[in-house]
């Protein structure tokens, strides 16, 4: 029996957009010891495939991390069947605040060494010794206290389009680099109040435990992350201290929390917070691009990628065997991110 998708992604995307029913996008995680991962992986895939669930699910000995969409007519069955597994009983869900139901187009369930890659040896620190969990009301109050430091535990491209006011925004590409960077940035604040936040809370679980292991005494984390915060401030009519978009790792690429646009198109500098992936399939670089530049650059990040997508398909396939992706990332690091004027000049040639 084949327990993975075998259909072309373009066909799957078309079928998703043709669906006549609504979907509910959600995420959940739990740090819990899991056994018999191969059998569990197959059971979850079969169960969710039967319910037409789409998304990405990672399981490891340390727990589960899931971002999925569930047809609304299968919601009750999904919850009931998931909760029959003792490790997942009553696991809390973070429901998307801005959802068109088109977040995922296939189901992936994979076994990983860790549900959040930290690059550290197992048992290096106690992952259960986490910080204090704060709801939206408590978080807002804590932000207003003196000598409070707020830290974004996400990658640079996430915080670029949205973040909490006054937060430290580490220029990191990975969670491992982020943890090392944050510890250095917070040196001297071991006795002060530290507030951590991320998308749905899972990265803060490890980050807060790591900071406590590193000697920080008053570590706090936003319970449920930005997703839960956005839902709670809407429900309670609270002030949003988060501005802009919450980046999400699915086809939507973002949920708008406030109307503020705090980032710029990486090609022309115009206010914009729409992430896209380069149309050059081998490049597929994630970057911010406005509608005008998308039309001018045919959805590509550089003139080199524009040239490639206009080659005959066989020539494109030949190029994909090389290191075009590495080249594109090099261009992004050296030109797109730090120097918008240079890129604009390049585009006008």
Mean pLDDT per block of 10 residues along the chain (349 residues) reads 78 92 95 95 97 97 96 98 97 90 94 86 78 97 96 95 97 86 93 96 92 95 96 96 95 94 96 96 92 96 92 83 55 45 43
* Residue whose entry in the numeric block shows the structure tokens 């957009």: 17
pLDDT at site 5:
78
3-state secondary structure of 248: coil
pLDDT at site 305:
92
Bridge-based pairing of strands 193-197 and 148-152 is parallel
pLDDT at site 95:
93
What lies within 8 Å, CB to CB, of 217 at 6+ separation is: 190, 191
Where are the CATH 3.30.70.100 domain residues in the chain? 9-111
In degrees, to the nearest 5, what angle opens at C-alpha 206 toward C-alphas 204 and 208? 60
pLDDT at site 60:
95
Provide CATH code, domain 9-111: 3.30.70.100
pLDDT at site 1:
62
pLDDT at site 122:
65
pLDDT at site 313:
86
Where are the CATH 3.40.250.10 domain residues in the chain? 132-236
pLDDT at site 99:
84
pLDDT at site 42:
96
CB-based contact 257:242 (threshold 8 Å): yes
204 is known as an active-site residue: no
Catalytic residue (one of 198, 268, 293, 300): 198
Bridge-based pairing of strands 218-222 and 193-197 is parallel
Would you identify the CATH topology of the domain 132-236? Oxidized Rhodanese; domain 1 (3.40.250)
């Amino acid at each position: 029996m084949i327990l993975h998708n075998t259909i072309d992604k373009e066909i799957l995307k078309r079928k998703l957009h043709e669906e006549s029913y609504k979907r509910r996008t959600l995420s959940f995680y739990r740090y819990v010891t899991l056994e018999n991962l191969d059998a569990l992986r197959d059971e979850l895939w079969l169960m969710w495939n039967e319910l037409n669930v789409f998304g990405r699910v990672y399981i490891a000995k340390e727990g589960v991390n899931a971002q999925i969409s569930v047809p609304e007519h299968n919601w009750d069955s999904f919850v009931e069947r998931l909760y029959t597994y003792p490790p997942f009983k009553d696991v809390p869900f973070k429901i998307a605040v801005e959802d068109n139901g088109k977040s995922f187009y296939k189901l992936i369930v994979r076994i990983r060494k860790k549900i959040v890659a930290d690059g550290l040896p197992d048992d290096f620190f106690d992952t259960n010794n986490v910080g204090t969990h704060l709801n939206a009301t408590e978080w807002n109050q804590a932000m207003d206290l003196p000598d409070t430091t707020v830290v974004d535990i996400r990658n640079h491209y996430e915080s670029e389009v949205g973040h909490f006011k006054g937060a430290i925004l580490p220029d990191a590409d990975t969670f491992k680099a982020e943890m090392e960077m944050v510890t250095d940035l917070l040196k001297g604040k071991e006795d002060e109040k530290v507030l951590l936040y991320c998308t749905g809370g899972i990265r803060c679980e490890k980050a807060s435990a790591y900071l406590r292991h590193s000697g920080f005494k008053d570590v706090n984390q936003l319970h449920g992350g930005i997703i839960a915060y956005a839902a709670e401030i809407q429900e309670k009519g609270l002030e949003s201290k988060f501005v802009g978009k919450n980046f999400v790792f699915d086809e939507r690429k973002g949920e708008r929390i406030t109307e503020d646009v705090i980032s710029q198109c990486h090609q022309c500098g115009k206010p914009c917070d729409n992430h896209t992936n380069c149309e050059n399939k081998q490049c597929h670089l994630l970057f911010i691009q406005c509608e005008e530049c998308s039309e001018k650059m045919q959805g590509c990040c550089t003139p080199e990628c524009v040239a490639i997508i206009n080659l005959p398909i066989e020539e494109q396939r030949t190029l994909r065997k090389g290191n075009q992706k590495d080249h594109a990332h090099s261009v992004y690091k050296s030109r797109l991110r730090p120097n918008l004027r240079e890129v604009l000049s390049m585009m006008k040639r």
